[in-house]
Amino acid sequence: MNGDMPQNNHDKANGKPVDRFRPKFHMTPPFGLMNDPNGFIYYVGKYHTFYQWNPNKTVHATKYWGHFTSENLFEWKHENAVLAPEDWFDCNGCYSGSAIEHEGNLIVLYTGNVLNEIGDRETYQCMAISKDGMTFDKKGPVLHLPAGYTAHFRDPKVWKKEDTWYMVVGAQSETKTGKVALFSSTNLTDWEHHGAIAGSHMNGLGDFGYMWECPDLFSLSGKDVLIVSPQGLEPKGDDYHNLFQSGYFIGEMDYQTKQYCHGDFRELDRGFEFYAPQTTIGANGQRILIAWMGMPDESEEHHPTIHDGWIHAMTLPRELTLFEGKLYQKPVKELEKLRTNEVHYEHVSIFNNSRDFKGVSGQSIELIIDILTNKSDVFSMRISNAIQIDFDSKTKIFSLTRKNFQTQSDEVRKCKLEDIYSLNIFIDLSTVEIFINGGEEVFSSRFFSEKNDGEILFHSKGEVSLNIKKWEISQSICF
């Protein structure tokens, strides 16, 4: 493999990345820019999370595939990059893709992004093969752009059903509508196109975006779930307030007719930073999701971490389950292994006041808050002087407020919930993930607080009674 591949040394980060906003138990790039998780797989006893990486600068430009490995889903080791944009078919970026295991090999399918001499985009779906998951042999394109789509055609996700390989690709039709295109193959190199199975102006959806990125189709509890990141949705009520969305459909995939019949689109996460999620099957057969805790085209220059030479992070791995027609996300159970120094309070009540609880604070922590009775009008928590969460029992609105990185004015994301009875919150220096009611809704966001003292203030207008548990979480990412 090429000698110019970014290696896992820390020249640019001065040995060890110890900068003040760097999370301790979330994957971040050692330097440069991280976006989508790629090729997420459990292969020969190890999890591999590859990722979109610009190792040269904290901006979106020519992407490599960076690499983390883990034996247990909670301790991750940064490895050398595996794919470099150095061939004619991927010279402007080894874009997103997926991994499968076949005949003992780890095979990845990814998008080769090319800007030709006249500046036009070309796209090639390419294959690379590895015997050990650590170094890859590029095989070049296995799929050229089919008729009917623009060159915004990328992010292949591959799976096997009986003896056939299937692949979904994120696409834009020639009429500039977002689509998911389906292909099948018996040998991974010759792919038959079956047309679009979902998209804007399909299956009763109406106008639903100009491009769909990063599709992922898998079965879960007898249903077929399609996860996708559509671009171009207008805000509607409390929905679709981020620049781009990531969400899912629940439906049935008919592998005979190649038709996918599905219900409504639902956002996967209600926070500010969540995009391009990808799933895999874990060691125990569970469906696990990781997403990029970032947003494309977001003005990167306002993230303070660029002064430390890096930007963006991944979410924690989450297990997916289907319950009453809704996808639930829970932090994977393995993360419990990271808990230390438990502090707990039982049956504490807060009545028309604000208070903290001794020991319930910290910069890298997990909290579980069981809401035993809620007679409050509004129950709130203020985290690290930067994030405020509120549940308004009258309007049934749960909201997360933070300061906009650029303007410093308040901005808010919301969703409706019948009630709240539990919060599982992970805070990690500059990341927060809030799992509400066992994963019924999740808010994932970044925050950058100048006076981040790890303080957590509880407030109730009216009365709430709570059980609180808090653990410290130590460094579990190794560079």
Given the rule CB under 6 A, which residues bind ligand FRU? 35-36, 52, 63, 95-96, 111, 154-155, 213-214, 275-276, 296
Nearer to ligand FRU, 265 or 292 (CB): 292
The phi and psi torsions of 307 (rounded to 5 degrees) equal -70, -20
Q: Between residues 52 and 70, which has the closer beta carbon with respect to ligand FRU?
A: 52
Considering beta carbons, is residue 213 or 319 the nearer one to ligand FRU? 213
For residue 294, the minimal CB distance to ligand FRU (Å) is 8
CB of 54 to ligand FRU, least distance (A): 8
Strands 223-231 and 211-220: antiparallel
- Minimum CB distance to ligand FRU smaller for 155 or for 433: 155
Q: Considering the candidates 11, 19, 36, 370, report the single residue annotated as catalytic.
A: 36
Identify which of residues 138 and 154 has a Cβ nearer to ligand FRU in the complex: 154
| Nearer residue to ligand FRU within complex by CB, 52 or 424 | 52
Minimum distance from CB of 323 to ligand FRU (Å)?
Answer: 28
The yes-or-no answer on residue 216 being catalytic is no
Query: What's the closest the beta carbon of residue 270 comes to ligand FRU, in angstroms?
Result: 19
- Shortest distance, position 309 Cβ to ligand FRU, whole Å: 19
Least separation in angstroms between CB 121 and ligand FRU: 12
Q: Regarding beta strands 76-83 and 477-478, do their DSSP bridges make them parallel or antiparallel, or are they unpaired? A: parallel
Q: Which of 95, 379 has the CB closer to ligand FRU?
A: 95
CB of 110 to ligand FRU, least distance (A): 8
As annotated, the active-site residues are 36
